[in-house]
Amino acid sequence: MSDDPVLYESSENICTITLNRPARMNAIDEAMEKALAAAWHRFNASDDRVAILTGAGEKAFSAGKDLSYKAFPEYRRFVPGFDIEVKKPIIAALNGWCIGGALTLVQMSDLCVASKSTRFTYPEAKIGFAGGMIAGLASRIPHKVAMEIMLLGEELSVERAYQVGLVNKIVEDEELMPTAQRMARRLADNAPLVLEMLKGLVRQTVSPSPTERISQALHPIERVMVSEDFREGMQAAREKRQPRFTGK
C-alpha cells in the first residue's frame, strides 16, 4: 500500500478516500490534514458521484488528533461542510476506534456503515482541549446523547450509535466495504441533481454549530485575502497607481 497519508481511488463514478496511517491508528497530523483537504477538492472536481470515507487497517477508522503533532489541528480545513463544501453524498465506512475529532468526519458525512468492531469516544474533556466542531453533533442526534458523548468522554458502542441514528447499518467486519460499495452504487445510479438538491436543503435545515457559522464566514474572507486582486491592490497602493482588478 502507498505511504501517502490519504489514498484516493476512483471506479465507476465512486471514489474511496482512505485515511492511511494504520501504524498510528490513522491519527491526524499535518500531512493528513492537507491530503484530506486535497482529496475533497479532487472529489468536487471529478466525475465521481459518491465518496466512501474509510480508514486503513483493522484497529481504527481514526484515532483523531495525533498527540505527537504539537500544532492544534485545523479541522475546519479538511472536514467536509466547513471550509470545503461537498455537495455530493459521502458515506463513512467505519471499523475499530473512532476517536475525538474523527467523530466530526462521521458527523458531517451523509450516511454511515459501521462494522461490529466499531467503537466511539470523544475524550477531549478528559485531555483538556477541544475545537468545538463536535457541538454540531447535538443537531444530528438526540441532545442528551450528544452531551453524554461530549461531556463524559466514555465509550459509545456501535449498537448504541445505531440506536440514536449516528450509524445507518451495522455489518460484520468483512462486509464493511462491500456494503458501503453497494450503498454507493445505488446512490451513484440515482439522479445527481436531485441528490445535490436534497443534500443542500438538508444542510439548510440542520442547525449549524457556531464553529460551522464561523467557518462559513471566514471562508470568503480568506478567499479575498489570498486572491490576485488583493496582491494587486496592495501593490498598486504602494506604487500610488490605479489597481487593475481581474476578479481572480
Q: Are residues 182 and 103 in the same domain?
A: yes
Whether 76 and 124 map to the same domain: the answer is yes
Phi, psi angle pair for 114, to nearest 5°: -130, 140
Domain count, the chain: 2
From residue 10, how far is each of 13, 49, 179 by CA, in Å? 7, 10, 17
C-alpha 152/C-alpha 53 separation (Å) is 27
Asked whether residue 139 is assigned to any structural domain, the reply reads yes
| 126 plus 220 within the same structural domain | no
Q: Which residue has the cell 450528544?
A: 146
Round to whole Å and give the CA distance between 89 and 44.
11
In terms of residue numbers, what domain contains 18? 6-191
pLDDT in tens, the chain (248 residues): 688 999 999 999 999 999 999 999 999 999 999 999 999 999 999 999 999 999 999 999 999 988 887 666 677 788 998 889 999 999 999 999 999 999 999 999 999 999 999 999 999 888 887 778 899 999 999 999 999 999 999 999 999 999 999 999 999 999 999 999 999 999 999 999 999 999 999 998 988 777 777 767 677 777 888 899 989 889 988 989 899 999 88
Instruction: State whether 150 and 236 are in the same domain.
Output: no
Question: Would residue 203 count as lying in a domain?
Answer: no
CA distance 247 to 23: 45
Shared domain check, 248 and 183:
no
Residues with Cβ within 8 Å of 109's Cβ and at least 6 positions away in sequence, in order, are 53, 80, 90, 91, 92
Q: Are residues 135 and 163 in the same domain?
A: yes
**Among the three residues 160, 191, 222, which one is the final residue of a domain in this structure?**
191
123 lies in some domain: yes
Grid cell in block for residue 103:
467523530
Q: How far apart are CA 12 and CA 8, in angstroms?
A: 13
Side-chain-side CA neighbours of residue 205 (13 Å): 7
pTM given for the model: 0.88
